[in-house]
Amino acid sequence: MRQGLFITFEGIDGCGKTTQIDILTKRLQKKNLKYTLVREPGGTKIGEKIRKILLDNDNINMEHKTELLLYSASRYQLCKQKLLPELDAGKIVICDRFYDSTTAYQGYGRGLDIDFINSLNKFATDELVPDLTFFLDISLNEREKRIGNNKLDRLESEQNNFHQKVREGFLKINKKNRNRFVKLNGKDGIEIISKKIWNNIERKING
């Protein structure tokens, strides 16, 4: 039976996930709490190879269903090789994106069947569900300001209407999963956001 705590971070590109994850891991280190940090797609040797294929700008002709299945393949490898063993060992596991991103990007963004994706998500995770999901929400205008002239990968390079659909998808997912989703305003100050994140985690840890 799982004894650990599974935490995921979600949101469109530029929402501040990386910054908040970095603050959280440093806090966990100071408190001597055992944790594991992984990312999606990736997190394993096989998953990282799949990641390169998915994000490579040379693969602009990738079919949407191919994209969906590759993300799911990477996820299953991550669950079996890292997530489930680490949770069973009682660790706090932090994942930069998980299956909610697939629902948002490939479901709402690409227009693939949501019901099928929900079933596939269960299959590709052995029905693993996060204990807490932090959704950092920002507007597309804010996203553009933050990304600026950064070099973008294949998904980041999609048109604004795609990213708008993805954001709307996250908002819909948030409404359906209030029991585990914590929606945060990505434009709030970094310290304000990190405090809210930690308060929610503390409540989970203390039961």
Q: Left, alpha or beta for 87 (phi > 0: left; psi -120 to 50: alpha)?
A: alpha
Is there a contact between 80 and 180 (Cβ–Cβ < 8 Å)?
no
What's the pLDDT score for residue 1?
Answer: 44
Closest of 67, 101, 122 to residue 170, by C-alpha: 101
Looking at residue 207, what is its pLDDT? 76
Contacts by 122-127, CB closer than 8 A, 24 or more apart: 123/72, 123/76, 124/72, 124/73, 124/75, 124/76, 124/79, 124/99, 125/75, 125/76, 125/79, 125/99, 126/79, 126/80, 126/84
Query: For residues 136 and 111, what is the distance between their CA atoms, to the nearest angstrom?
Result: 22
- The pTM score is 0.96
pLDDT of residue 41: 98
How many domains, in total, are found in the chain?
Answer: 1
Q: Which domain holds residue 144?
A: 5-206
- The pair of structure tokens assigned to 124 is 């590709």
The domain spanning residue 74 has which CATH number? 3.40.50.300
Tens of pLDDT, residue by residue, the chain (207 residues): 468 999 999 999 999 999 999 999 999 999 999 999 999 999 999 999 999 999 999 999 999 999 999 999 999 999 999 999 999 999 999 999 999 999 999 999 999 999 999 999 999 999 999 999 999 999 999 999 999 889 999 999 999 999 999 999 999 999 999 999 999 999 999 999 999 999 999 999 887
